Amino acid sequence: MNLTAQTEADQNLSLPTNYSPLQLEAEMREFWIKNDIRNKLELLEKNAKGFLGYVEGPPTLNGIPHIGHARGRIMKDIRYRWKTMEGYYMPFWAGWDCQGLPVELEVEKLLGVRNKRESIEKFGMERFIEECKKAIMRYHKMWLDADSRLGIAINQDKAYWTYKDSYIEREWFYLKRAWDQNLLEEGHYVVAYCPGCQTSLSSAEVGYEGSYKEVEDPSVYFKFKVTGTEKEFFLVWTTMPFTIITDTMLAVQPKAEYVKVKVGEETWIMMRQRVEPVMAELEIKNFQITESMMGKSLEGTAYDYPLKDIIPKQAELETKHPLVHKVIAEDFVDVETATGVVHLSPGNGEDDFWAANRRGVPIFVPFDDEVKFTNDAGIFTGVFARDADMLVVEELRNHNAFVKVKKIKHEYPTCWRSHHKLVWLARKEYFLRTDKINSNVLEAAEKIEYFFDEPKNRFLGFLKEGKPWCISRERIWGTPLPMWTCEKCGNKRLIASKKELVESAQEAFPENFELHKPWVDRITLKCGKCSGTMRREDFVLDTWHNSGASPYARFTDEEFEKFVPTTFLTEGIDQTRGWANSLLLEYVILTGKPVAPYKAFLFQGLTQDAKGRKMSKSLGNVVETSKLLEKSSADLCRFYMMRKCSPVDFMSFDMQELTRRPYQVLSTLYHLSRFFLQNATFDEFDPKKYTLNWALKAGKLQAADLWLMSKLQNKIEEFTKNLDRCEFNTAVAILDDFVIETLSRLYVPMIRKELWTDEPETFERRQTIYALLHHTLKTVTLLFNPITPFLSEALYQKIYRQLETDLPETVNLATWPTPNEKMRNKPLEDDFDILLKVVSISYAARQQGKLKRRWPLAKTIVVAPEKTLQALKCLESLLLEQTNVKAVEYSTSVPDYVGGENWVSNQQDEITVFLSGQRDDKLLGEGIMRDLARRVQALRKEMGFVPTETLESVHIAELDVESIGLLEPYLEEMASLVRARKVYLHSSCSEVEAKWHESELDGKKIRINIH
Ligand SMILES: [Zn+2]
Ligand SMILES: [Zn+2]
C-alpha cells in the first residue's frame, strides 16, 4: 500500500543535540502543512486494503476545548494513525455540533436578555440566529487551534456542521422513517420542564451526571376527609405541596393491609406497616388501631378535596369524571415510604399521568410557560409553582387538612444547564415512541463491543428503561420539527426535504431561505383533506436528535453505504445518555432493524484536576488545551494521558508529571536515535546494503542481538494487541519498558564499546549493529507514531528518510510493523532473564561490600541449580562484562573456601552470587581508569562533542602519586574508551596551561581538560 516518495527527502532537516519537543513540534506542524500531508492521506482510499467506517462525535461549539476533550481526541487519533499505517482507509473527518440550548443561552447572555421572549421582542429572530452562528464560529477557531497543537490528524476540510440545510434535510429523513412506522407521536405527556430555560428536557438529560443536587423541601403530612364522615381522614405525605393544587385522586396499594388509627378525636387511614414509623415521626404516642382492611377494598372511596372554595376549577372537575377525588388502587404505590396513601397529580407526575390516562380522568395542568399558575388555579394565579409550596401549606391549615410540616434535605433533579429545580408537567410534545422498539434497541446494543464491563452495564442499564423520547423543544436555534398541522381539520403532514417543502408551499418561495426558524415558519401548506391552511408546529428538535442523525446526515448516500455501520467510536462516559444513545435509537428507527450504527464503542472516563476534583469554571481548575500546549509538548501530553491510566478510569491530570517519566522515555528514544545516526553516519552505514536479512543470513547476530530481536517481536505483537483492546495504558507501558529497560539500560551498553573503534577488521560487526539498531529504532518510531506523532515524524524525516530517500513521504504512510515469527526465541529470552537476574544480584552484593560497579573484580561464584548454570554458561562473556569481573565459577553448592572478609554475597530465590572483594594493583588501576573515563565521557557530552568525534588529548591533573602509578598501565585503554588520541596525567594543574574543569575522584578534587 505504500505510496512511494513524491518528493525528495528534505536534506536541510537535521537533528539538534537536545530534545526540545516544542521546537520540534512546531517544525513538524509546518512540514505537514507545507507538504499537504493530511490531504495526501485521503488518497489512500483508492487502494486501501479495507474501509473502516467512522463518524465524528461532534464537540459542541459552545465551550473552550480543555484537557478532558483532548484525552478523547487523542484516542480517536491513535486509532486513525494506527489503522492508516495498517493500510485501511478511514473517513476521519471532523464534525461540529452547532445548535441547541447552550448556544442560545450564551447568545442571550451576550445580548443581555433574560429569556427567549425578551430576546425575540428586542432583537428579532433573524438577528438571534445570526448571533448563534457567530458564537459557534468563535469556538470553532479555538477548536482548530487546539487540534492543530495536539496533532489530531482529523480532516477539518471535510467537517460536517449540524446546522446546515443539507444536514438538516437528511436529519428530517429519520423523522419520516419514524412517521411511516407510527413511531412519531404528538401527545400530552408528563415531561421534565425547566422553568429557567423554558423548555422540556429528555429523560436522558434529567439523568446527567451532576444534575441531582441536594435541595431543601418541605415535608408535609396532610389529611383528606373521607366523604360523608365527620372525623375520618386519609393521611397523606408530600414534599411538593404545590401539587395539591392539581390533585385529582388518591392511590393505595391493593395488596397491602390498611388500618384505621384512632388519634385523639380523629381516625386516620393508612398502611399498617407504616403506622409505627409515621407516628414516631409525627411524635404521636397515643394512638390505637381500630380496624383493618385490604387496600383493594378502599378503591372507589370518595374524599372531600379541601381547597375547592379557593380553586373553583377543582369543583368543576368532579362533574367531568366520576373518579375525580376518589381512591384508586395502583401497584406502583410503595409500601416502604410515607403513609401508603399517595395523592395523584396527573398534571405533575409521570405515574400519576398514566394512572389518569388509563382511566380517562382529565389532566389538570393550570401552568403557563414560566410554570406560573394560570387562572384555573384560583387564588394561586400568577404564582410560580415552587413558590406556592408554603402558601398551600397555609391553606391546608386554614381548611383543617394540615397535620405537620418539616424541612427535609434530599437529592432532587435540577436542570443540567441552568440548575433550576425541574418541574414535572404534562405538556403537548412530540415523542419518538422508542419504548415500542426497545427490544430491537437492546438486541442491537448487545451486539456492540464495549471493551470494558462497567460502561457496558451502565449503557445497557440505561437503555433498558426504554422510555419514549421527547424530541420537541420550545426553542429557536435548532432543527425545525418538519410537521405541518391543518388549522381546520387537524390533519398532519411531515415534510422530509427542502425540495418537498418548495413544491408544497402555498406562497412563492422566498430567496433568502434557510431551514431554520423564522424562515421555515413562514411557509404554509394547503391541507390535502379540507383545503385549509397548514402551519408548522412551533418546535425545534432536541439537539441530541440533531447530532444523533450524523451517520446518515453527514454522508452522501454512497458514503453512507460504505462507512456505516462504523467500526469504532469513542466518547466520554457521560455519552451513555447522550450521543451513544441517540445514535443507536435513531439508527434502529432508520433501518427498522436491531442494528447499531457502530460495532464498537469505547466510553472514556472523565478527566479531573491533579487533586481528583472535577474541572469546572467555578473552581477555576479547567486546563485549556491551547494554553497548556503553548508551553508544554503535545507528544508528552499525549504519551502521559495514555500512559497514566486505563481509558475508562477517571484521570487526575497533573501537569507536573509531564516532565517526569514521559520526558524520560521520549528523550531517551530521541538520544538513542541520535546515537545511532551519528555512529552510522561516521561509518557510512547503508541500510539498503547492510540489512537485517543480510546479518541474519550471514550468521552475524550474536546472543544479545538475537535476544533484542526476539524481544522486539513480542513488543510489536503485544503493543498492537493492546491497542486493539483499547488498553492504551498497557500498550504505552510496553513501549516505555522497551525503550528504557531493553534498549537503553541493557542492549546499548552491551554493544556501545564495539562501536568505538574504527578498526577495519570489526567493520562488519559494526554494520551488523547498525542494521540491528536501524531496524529496531525505526520499528519503535513507527509504533510510537499513533502516540507521539510529532516525535515519530521528526525521527522518520531526519533519520530514516535521510538514509533511504525513497521511503514514503510521511511516517503515516509507512507500513505498520508486524512480528517476524522466525525472530522469536523464547529459550534465549529465558536465559537472558536468568542472566539479568544474576547481574542484579551481583549489584546488590557490590552495594553491601561498597564496591563500585565500575571497579573490576577478580572473581565471582554463582551458586544455583544446574539448569540455571547452563543458561549462564551460554552467555558467559556477557555475564563477565555485565558484572564487571574477570572470571566466573559455577557451582551447585557453596564451595568450602568461600567466606571471610574477602567475600561479599547476595541471594535471591535459588541463586546466590559471591564476589571476591580483594583488589590487587591491576584491578585498582583499572577501577580508577573506569571512574575517570566516566567523568571524561560526561564532560564530552557537556561540551557538546558528538560521540564519533575523536579528542585531540585528555589531561587529568591533581592526582596523587599512588593513583598515577596505578593508572599508568591503563592509559591506552582509557584513550580508546573515551575516544581520544592520548591521555596525559599530571600531579599539578600548573604543569600545563589549559582550561581546567573541576571534578572529583573518591572524594578528592581533581581537574580535567579535554580538547
Ligand atoms: Zn434550565
Ligand atoms: Zn384540513
Q: How confident is the model at residue 13 (pLDDT cuts 50, 70, 90)?
A: low
Cell 450524523 found at: 550
- CA 604, 605, 608, 610 torsion-angle sign: negative
Q: Any idea what DSSP says for residue 800?
A: I
pLDDT tens per residue, range 356-410: 988 889 899 999 888 899 999 999 999 999 899 999 999 999 999 999 999 989 8
- 1005 carries an active-site annotation: no
pLDDT tens-place string over residues 976-1003? 888 899 999 988 888 888 888 888 887 8
Surface-to-core class of residue 900, CB atoms within 10 Å of its CB (0-12 exposed, 13-18 middle, 19+ buried): exposed
Give residue 611 CA to ligand 1 midpoint distance, Å.
Answer: 30
Q: Cell triple for residue 863?
A: 551458586
Using the mean position of ligand 2's atoms as its centre, give its distance from the Cα of residue 504 in Å.
15
- Phi, psi angle pair for 544, to nearest 5°: -70, -30
* Distance (Å) from CA 497 to ligand 2 centroid: 21
Kindly report which listed range (126-140, 175-189, 997-1011) carries the lowest average pLDDT score: 997-1011
The three-state secondary structure class of 221 is strand
Contact in structure between 655 and 632 (CB atoms under 8 Å): yes
- C-alpha cell, 549: 442523525
Which ligand places an atom closest to the C-alpha of 192? 1
Residue 327 has pLDDT above 50, yes or no: yes
Residue 5 has pLDDT above 70, yes or no: no
Instruction: Output the nine-digit C-alpha cell for 318.
Output: 368532579
- Which is catalytic among the residues 97, 705, 736, 831? 97
Q: Which long-range contacts (CB under 8 A, 24 or more apart) does 499-507 make?
A: 506/533
Stated as kind and residue range, the H or E segment containing 73 is helix 67-85
- pLDDT band of 11, cuts 50, 70, 90: very low
Q: Which residue has the cell 409553582?
A: 385
Which ligand lies nearest to the CA atom of residue 488 in the structure? 2
Q: Is 713 a catalytic residue?
A: no
Per-residue confidence (pLDDT) for residue 498, from 0 to 100: 93
> 528 CA to middle of ligand 2, Å?
7
Whole-number Cα distances in Å, 255 to 237, 252, 334, 353: 20, 9, 11, 22
pLDDT above 50 for 4: no
Reduced to 3 states (helix: H, G, I; strand: E, B; else coil), residue 474 is coil
How high is the pLDDT of residue 204? 67
For the question of residue 285 being annotated catalytic, the response is: no
d(CA 729, CA 812): 22
- How many angstroms separate the alpha carbon of residue 198 from the centre of ligand 1? 7
CA distance 557 to 230: 73
**Mean pLDDT confidence for 4-21:** 63
CB 364 within 8 A of CB 331: no
Catalytic entry in 158, 262, 614, 886: 614
Check: CB of residue 784 under 8 Å from CB of residue 735.
yes
Which strands sit side by side in the sheet containing 885-891, from one edge to the other? 885-891, 857-863, 911-916, 903-908
Answer whether the bond into residue 760 is a cis peptide, omega within 30°.
no
Averaged over 90-113, what is the pLDDT?
92
| 628 pLDDT above the threshold of 60 | yes
Q: What's the pLDDT tens digit per position in 14-71?
A: 788 889 999 999 999 999 999 999 999 999 999 899 999 999 999 999 999 999 999 9
Lowest mean per-residue pLDDT among 72-76, 491-495, 762-766? 762-766
Give the whole-angstrom CA distance, residue 566 versus residue 51: 9
Q: Is 827 a catalytic residue?
A: no
Please give the distance, rounded to the nearest whole angstrom, from the Cα atom of residue 105 to the centre of ligand 1. 9
Q: How many residues does the chain have?
A: 1011
Ligand whose nearest atom lies closest to the CA of 423: 1
Catalytic residue among 99, 198, 314, 575: 575
User: Which one is catalytic: 143, 416, 484, 544?
Assistant: 544
State how far the Cα of 779 lies from the Cα of 772, in Å rounded to an integer: 11
Between helix 453-465 and helix 438-446 the angle, nearest 10°, is 170
Q: How far is the CA of 770 from the centre of ligand 1 (A)?
A: 65
Q: Quote the pTM value.
A: 0.83
Q: Tens digit of pLDDT for each residue in 780-821?
A: 999 999 999 999 999 999 999 999 999 999 999 999 999 999
Please check whether residue 13 is in contact with residue 52, taking contact to mean a CB–CB distance below 8 angstroms.
Answer: no
Tens of pLDDT along 558-587?
999 999 999 999 999 999 999 999 999 999
Is residue 551 annotated as part of the catalytic site, yes or no? no
Distance between Cα 201 and ligand 1 center (Å): 9
Distance from Cα 269 to the centre of ligand 2, integer Å:
52
Mean pLDDT of 963-969: 89
- 565 cis-preceded (ω within 30 degrees of 0): yes
Closest listed ligand to the CA of 528? 2
| CA-to-CA separations, 497 to 166, 199, 552, 585, 751, in angstroms, rounded | 9, 26, 14, 21, 70
| 348 CA from centroid of ligand 1 (Å) | 18
Question: Grid coordinates representing 658?
Answer: 509531564
| Closest ligand to the CA of 193 | 1
Ligand 2 center–CA 506 separation, angstroms? 14
Q: How far is the CA of 485 from the centre of ligand 2 (A)?
A: 8
Residue 912, strand partner residues: 863, 907
Question: How close is the Cα of 526 to the center of ligand 2, in Å?
Answer: 8
Q: Is 469 left (phi over 0), alpha (psi -120 to 50) or beta?
A: beta
What is the residue whose three cell numbers read 568525534? 949
Is the predicted pLDDT of residue 947 greater than 80, yes or no? no
> Which ligand ends up closest to the CA of 205?
1
Q: Which ligand is nearest to the CA of 524?
A: 2
Q: Are 577 and 544 in contact (CB under 8 A)?
A: no
- Catalytic (active site) residue 614: yes
Residue type, 362: P
pLDDT > 70 fraction of the chain, expressed in percent and rounded: 99
Q: Distance of CA 110 to CAs 84, 104, 134, 135, 321, Å?
A: 43, 10, 11, 9, 50
Alpha helices in 413-479 (DSSP H): 438-446, 453-465
Give 295 Cα–ligand 2 centroid separation in angstroms: 48
Measure 841 CA to ligand 1 centroid, in angstroms: 66
Query: What residues form DSSP beta bridges with 407?
Result: 218
Instruction: Name the pLDDT band for 3 (thresholds 50, 70, 90).
Output: very low
What grid cell was written down for 352?
Answer: 400519576
Report whether pLDDT(6) > 70: no
Distance between Cα 535 and ligand 2 center (Å): 11
pLDDT at 10: 46
In the numeric block, the cell 554475597 is attached to 905
Write down the mean pLDDT value for the chain: 92
Give the Å distances, CA to CA, from 448 to 477, 565, 603. Answer: 33, 11, 12
Burial class of residue 791 in the structure, from the number of CB atoms within 10 Å of its CB (0-12 exposed, 13-18 middle, 19+ buried): buried
Ligand sitting nearest the alpha carbon of 197: 1
| pLDDT > 90 in the chain, percent | 75
Of 21, 58, 597, 687, the active-site residue reads 58
Give the three-class secondary structure for 157.
Answer: strand
Task: Compute CA distances 199 → 196, 364, 473, whole Å.
Answer: 8, 19, 6
Catalytic residue among 93, 96, 579, 707: 579
Say how far apart CA 1011 and CA 1009 lie, in whole Å: 7
Q: Which three cell numbers stand for residue 941?
A: 557530552
Residues 252, 399 contacting (CB under 8 angstroms)? no
Helix (H) or strand (E) holding 363: none
- Rg (C-alpha) for the chain, rounded Å, is 39
| Average pLDDT value for residue range 233-261 | 95
Q: How far is the CA of 202 from the centre of ligand 1 (A)?
A: 12
Q: Given 611, 617, 631, 697, which residue is catalytic? A: 617
- Give the model's pLDDT for residue 591: 97
Q: Is 544 a catalytic residue?
A: yes
Ligand lying closest to the C-alpha of residue 108: 1
**Higher per-residue pLDDT: 932 or 96:** 96
Which ligand ends up closest to the CA of 489? 2
Distance 492 CA to ligand 2 centre (A): 8
Amino acid in the structure at residue 552:
Y
Q: What spacing in Å lies between the alpha carbon of 614 and ligand 2's midpoint? A: 54
